[in-house]
Chains A and B, each alone.
Chain A
C-alpha cells in the first residue's frame, strides 16, 4: 500500500463514493424513492439538484436508491458467479478425467450462445424477480469464472507441494481449500472487479430492455428507460444514470487494473 498510482486513487475514491451512497441511501436521499414531488422533467434547481423525472419524482433521490439496487444485485450475482464458477473449476481440475471433460464441454456449449440472448430466452418463461435475476445472471456468468479457475487450478495441481499433500493422504476437500484456493486467490481477485463491472452493465442492459428490475423499484438501467422519451425534447434526464454506470465501471476498472499489476509483480506472472 506504499505507492498508489493516481489513477487507482481516483478509481478508489469514486468506487467508495458509490458504495457508501448505496449503503446509506435512505439517509442521503433528499426525497423518497417513489415520491412525486414536482412537475414532469423540471430543470435542476436548489430543490431538485438533478431535476425531476418523467412523472415528477426527484431524479437525485431515484439515482441514489437506483444505485443501491444496481450495486446490490450486481454484487450478489458476482458472488453467485464466483462461488459456482470457482468451486466447479477447482473440482474439475482436481478430479480430472471424464468429469473434467463433461463439465468443460458443457461450459463451452453455454458460451456458444451469447449471454444476453440466453438470459432473454430464460427470462421469457421465468418470473422476473430480484432473486431470479441474481441467479440467472450469476449462473450464466459463472462459465467465465469456471474457465479461469480451472486453468489456474490445473497449473497449481501439478506443483510439488500439492503432490506432497496428496502423498501424505489428504482428501480432495483439503487439496482444494488448503492448497489450491490460497494460491489461486490473486488472479481470481483481479478478475472479481471485471466480473462486477460486467454484472453492472448486464443488469443495466436487462433493465433498460424492460426485463430487469421492475418499476416502481428503481435501478440505473430502468431510470434510463423511464426517461428516454425526454431525450428527443432535449431533456438530458436519461443521460444522468448512464453516466453513473459508466463512471462506476471505469473506476472499478482502474482499481482492478492496479490490483492486477500489483499481484502480477508480486508473484512474477499471472497464475504461476
Chain B
C-alpha cells in the first residue's frame, strides 16, 4: 500500500475512533452524571407517579450501557429518537435546520477564507509597517469581543440606524436564493469578523516561517518582486499550515454559529440546541451535541489529511 494512503487511512480511523469516544462522552455527560435526569426535567415539584412515567418513557430503568448502545445503534441508522417536548422525530426537524446552518457557515467561509489569506499576504509584504501593525491591533481587539457584541453593534448601526438590512435573519423555502443571501448578510458579516483576524494572523505566521528559508533569499536575490516571491515560492510551501488554519477556523465557525443564530433569530442548529437545553429536552440535546461534535471532528480530520497530501516529501517517498 502506498504510504500516503496508509497515513490517510490511519487518520480516518483515528477520526472515527475519536467520534465514537465523543459520543460516549456526550452520553455520559447527560445520563451517567450524578443526579436524576427525570427529576431535573420535571423540577422539584414533580409527583412520584409522573417521575416514574417519565423514567419509563426515557428508558431510564435499563442499565446505562444498554441505553447507550441502543442510542448509538439508532443514531448510526439515522434515527435520533423523538423530542420530549413535542414528540416529533428529531432527525426530521434537524435536517432542515442543519441545511440552514451549513448554508450560513459556508457563506461565511466563502467570504472569510480568501479575504483572510489575502490580508495575511498583505501583512507579510508590509511586515513591521503600518498595515501589519493595524492587523495585529485588530486581532487583539477581535479576540476580546464576544460574538454577540459584534452582532448587536451591527444591528444597531447598520440595520436600525441605516436600515440597509433587516435585523432578523428569517429564511424559508419560499425565498429565492438572492433573497436568502440578503437575509443572512448581517450574520455572515459577524461570523467573518469573528474568524477573520485569527485566520489572518496564523496565515501571516505560516508564511513568515517559510520566508526565512534559503530558497526565498535566492528568489529575492535574482530580482523577483516581493509579491511574486510570496506568491510563487512561499505560498505553495505554506499551503499545509494555511489549510490547517482554515480548517481550525471553520471548526470554530461551527461553534460561533450557535451564538450568532440566537442573535439573529436564524432557524438553524444552534437555535435548536439552545432552545432545547432551556427546555431540558435531553434526546434533542444529545443529538445536536453529536452532530456538532461530528462536524468539528470531521473538519479537524480533513485538516490532518490535507496537510499530509500537501507535503511533497510524503507524496513522493524515496
Chain A residues with CB under 8 Å of B30's CB are 121-122, 124-125
Q: List residues 149-202 of chain B with CB under 8 A from any CB of chain A.
A: 149, 152-153, 155-156, 160-161, 167
Q: Mark A221-243, 1 if CB is under 8 A from B, else 0.
A: 10010001001111010110011
- Asked if B274 is an interface residue, CB under 8 A from chain A, the answer is yes
Residues of chain B lying within 8 A (CB to CB) of residue A254: 140
Check A197 for interface membership: any CB of B closer than 8 A. yes
Whether A236 pairs with B33 at a CB distance below 8 angstroms is: no
Q: Does A99 have its Cβ within 8 Å of any Cβ on chain B? A: no
Contacts of A120 in B (CB 8 A): 258, 273-274, 277, 285, 289
Given A205-B259, A234-B160, A245-B146, also A125-B282 (CB < 8 A): yes
Contact partners of B292 in chain A: CB under 8 A? 113-114, 117
Task: Please determine whether A121 and B289 come into contact, CB atoms closer than 8 angstroms.
Answer: yes
Chain A interface, >50% SS class: helix
User: Which residues of A sit under 8 angstroms from B21, Cβ to Cβ?
Assistant: 109, 112
B278 touches A210 (CB 8 A): yes
Q: A120-B285, A125-B280, A239-B153 in contact; A113/B293 too (CB < 8 A)? A: yes
A257 to B140, CA, bound (A): 10
Identify the interface centre among B31, B167, B254, B273: most chain A CB within 10 Å of its CB.
Answer: B273
Q: Which of A115, A233, A242 has the most CB of B within 10 A?
A: A242
The answer to whether B156 touches A239, judged by C-beta atoms less than 8 angstroms apart, is yes
Given A231-B156, A245-B149, are A112 and B259 also a contact pair (CB < 8 Å)? Answer: no
Contact residues of A with B, CB < 8 Å? 108-110, 112-118, 120-127, 197, 201, 204-205, 208-211, 221, 224, 228, 231-234, 236, 238-239, 242-243, 245-246, 249-250, 253-254, 257
CA distance A208 to B140 in the complex (A): 23
CB of B254, distance to nearest CB on chain A (Å): 7
Contacts of A231 in B (CB 8 A): 152, 155-156, 160, 167
Among candidates B35, B149, B155, B285, residue contacting A246 with C-beta atoms closer than 8 Å: B149
Taking a contact as CB atoms under 8 Å apart, the answer to whether A253 and B145 are in contact is no
Q: Does B80 have its Cβ within 8 Å of any Cβ on chain A? A: no
A121 and B144 contact, Cβ closer than 8 Å, known pairs A116-B258, A231-B152, A246-B149:
no
Instruction: Chain B residues near A211: list those with CB within 8 A.
Output: 274, 277-278
Closest 9 CB pairs of A and B: A249-B144, A242-B149, A124-B285, A114-B255, A124-B277, A250-B144, A121-B289, A117-B292, A246-B145
Cβ–Cβ contact B25 & A110, under 8 A: yes
The secondary structure that dominates the B interface is: helix
Whether A253 contacts B144 by the Cβ 8 Å rule is yes
A224: chain B residues at CB < 8 Å are 148-149, 152
Instruction: Tell whether B37 is near chain A: CB-to-CB under 8 Å.
Output: yes
A-B contact pairs, 24 of them (CB 8 A): A108-B18, A109-B21, A113-B22, A113-B289, A114-B255, A116-B255, A118-B29, A120-B273, A122-B30, A123-B277, A124-B277, A124-B282, A126-B40, A210-B278, A224-B148, A231-B155, A231-B167, A234-B161, A238-B152, A239-B152, A242-B149, A245-B146, A250-B144, A254-B140
Q: Point out the residues of chain B lying under 8 angstroms from A108, CB to CB.
A: 18
**CA–CA, A249 and B140, complex, Å:** 10
Does B149 contact A243, Cβ atoms closer than 8 Å? yes
> Nearest CB to that of B140 among chain A residues?
A253
**Option from B281, B289, B300 in Cβ contact (under 8 Å) with A112:** B300
Cβ-closest chain B residue relative to A208:
B148
A122 to B273, CA, bound (A): 12
Q: Which residues of A contact B277 (CB under 8 A)?
A: 120-121, 123-124, 209, 211
How many angstroms between the C-alpha atoms of A125 and B281 in the bound complex? Answer: 9
The answer on a CB contact under 8 Å between B156 and A246 is no
Judging by beta carbons under 8 Å apart, are A210 and B141 in contact? no
Query: Which residues of chain A are within 8 angstroms of B286 by Cβ–Cβ distance?
Result: 121
User: Which residues of B sit under 8 angstroms from A209, Cβ to Cβ?
Assistant: 258-259, 262, 274, 277
Asked if B293 and A197 sit within 8 Å, CB to CB, the answer is no
- How far is B18's CA from A121's CA once the two chains are assembled, in angstroms? 18
